[in-house]
Amino acid sequence: MGQDSCTKRFYYTEIDSSIGNLFLTAEDFGMTGIFFYREDVPQTIREQMMEGKRHPILKEAVDQLMDYFKHGRREFTVPLLIEGTDFQKAVWNALLDIPYGETRTYADIAASIQNKKAVRAVGQANRANRLPILIPCHRVIGKNNKLTGYAGNQVDKKELLLKLEGVL
């Protein structure tokens, strides 16, 4: 945001976590993505990425994520660069309000953003979240406490994250 796309620098690193390999991306001033597969990173970013294990944003993200996976962290402070529509940003901000170890339904999120009829759109916004875990879309469940879609049909990862947080 505010940078010309020609001058943006993209960095990446990979970590092995308790839910599998994670591919992290960042720009100079914040995290831009957590992906379960390198191929999920948008092509325009993949073409320009530089290895960034020593990049301060990625190093901070790795440290915080690894601490989270060891039950030592419940909130993240790594800077995020969030790009999306106003609606998506409203949903993602609502997700940031869900405490560790708790869940909300899609209907709860729709109500919290003053748009009770937008339950399906909330699901679509969750699906578009490029910063899973940091923006905790895994804490959103279907009615009757059903685990529904997560990050490209990775419901098993959602289940692992909710077990990690003591929800399941």
Give me the catalytic one of 78, 137, 141, 161.
Answer: 137
DSSP 151-167: TTT-HHHHHHHHHHTT-
> What domains are there in the chain, each with its CATH number?
10-69 (3.30.160), 86-164 (1.10.10.10)
pLDDT digit string, tens, across residues 27-77? 999 999 999 887 888 787 777 777 777 899 999 999 999 999 999 999 999
pTM of model > 0.85: yes
The pLDDT value recorded for residue 1 is 43
* CA dist 114 → 39, 88, 108, 127 (Å): 35, 13, 10, 20
Give yes or no: 137 in active site.
yes
